[in-house]
Amino acid sequence: MKIDNERRAKLEEFCQAINVGFKDRYLLNLSLTHSSYAYETGRKMNEGNERLEFLGDVALSLAVSEYLFNLYPDRAEGELAKIRATVVSKPALAKRARIINLGDYILLGKGEEVTGGRERDSILADAFEAVIGAIYLDSGLKGASQFVLSQLKEEIELIEHGEHIKDYKTALQETTQNMFKTLPDYEVSKIEGPDHDRTFEVKTFIHSKFYGAGSGKSKKEAQQKAAKKTLEKLRKNKFKKR
């Protein structure tokens, strides 16, 4: 796949953002090429990032497993597996991808572009794994592991403090069904920024009463944050009544 000067500049910008030097820019570009782009531009099936994603998934799992094994010598296999599963989950990887603005560098087909693919968890997480795969081929397992840990050590620390990513929407749904015999309602109250860099604000209501608000780069992220705020408020009120 030919890389023009404009694309080269974007790839160099990304390298600086993640503090990783690539000897082979083609590998990096391939890791950031979604299959929809490859298809729409008439490229071969293997000129998308799925194969690198496959490789990156293995390197990611190994890097995190080794780190957890050494970090927690007294933890049982089951505990280590649970922590690893959370760290390498799609939401966790998508979160890190957003932090490094990975979505800005992905080549997407027009269909995926107009339907918000640049903010979709699955696309971001897959591309994140593909980047790991590209680093593995370019710099070996040591380079891939260094990148993985530079990105995910913080997530492991959050897990230790019970603050890691959770499905707050599901938790809130279960809570409101038990407490109010109803489901929460979510309302987009504000959208700011240009099309390529939008911020959504979502509010949560229970029986038409406002409980919490959250902001994010996608409606899904904003809903999760609003649900978390609502859960915190409900639990606080419940505690006060005791």
Angle subtended by helix axes 219-240 and 168-180, to nearest 10 = 40
- Whether 10 and 86 map to the same domain: the answer is yes
Q: What is the CATH number of the domain that holds 39?
A: 1.10.1520.10
pLDDT digits (tens, 9 = 90+) for 61-96: 999 999 999 999 998 998 899 889 989 998 889 989
- Whether 20 and 110 map to the same domain: the answer is yes
**Which of 112, 126, 129, 221 is the catalytic position?**
129
- Whether 147 and 189 map to the same domain: the answer is no
129 given a catalytic annotation: yes
Using DSSP's 3-state secondary structure scheme, residue 220 falls into helix
**Which of 53, 57, 112, 119 is the catalytic position?**
57
- Whether 10 and 78 map to the same domain: the answer is yes
Report the sign of the C-alpha dihedral through residues 155, 160, 163, 164, in that order: positive
**Residues with Cβ < 8 Å from 60, sequence gap 6 or more?**
88, 129, 132, 144, 148
Q: Which of 160, 187, 215 is the last residue of a domain?
A: 160
201 given a catalytic annotation: no
- Whether 151 and 174 map to the same domain: the answer is no
Q: What is the CA radius of gyration of the chain?
A: 20
Q: What is the CATH number of the domain that holds 223?
A: 3.30.160.20
- Whether 54 and 107 map to the same domain: the answer is yes
- Whether 37 and 152 map to the same domain: the answer is yes
Query: Which residue did the predictor score with more confidence, 236 or 113?
Result: 113
Of the candidates 153, 152, 133, 129, the one whose C-alpha atom is nearest the C-alpha of residue 143 is 133
- Whether 154 and 207 map to the same domain: the answer is no
Q: In whole angstroms, what is the distance from residue 185 CA to residue 210 CA?
A: 9
Q: In whole angstroms, what is the distance from residue 93 CA to residue 103 CA?
A: 12
Q: Is the pLDDT reported for residue 45 higher than 90?
A: no
Using DSSP's 3-state secondary structure scheme, residue 12 falls into helix
pLDDT digits (tens, 9 = 90+) for 174-215: 889 888 999 999 999 999 998 878 899 999 999 999 999 999
- Whether 32 and 110 map to the same domain: the answer is yes
Highest mean pLDDT among 41-55, 130-144, 185-199: 130-144
Q: Is the pTM of this model over 0.85?
A: no
Q: How many domains does the chain have?
A: 2
Q: 128 lies in which domain range?
A: 5-160
Q: To which H or E segment does residue 120 belong?
A: none
Segments in 50-89 forming alpha helices (H): 50-71, 77-87
- Whether 55 and 125 map to the same domain: the answer is yes
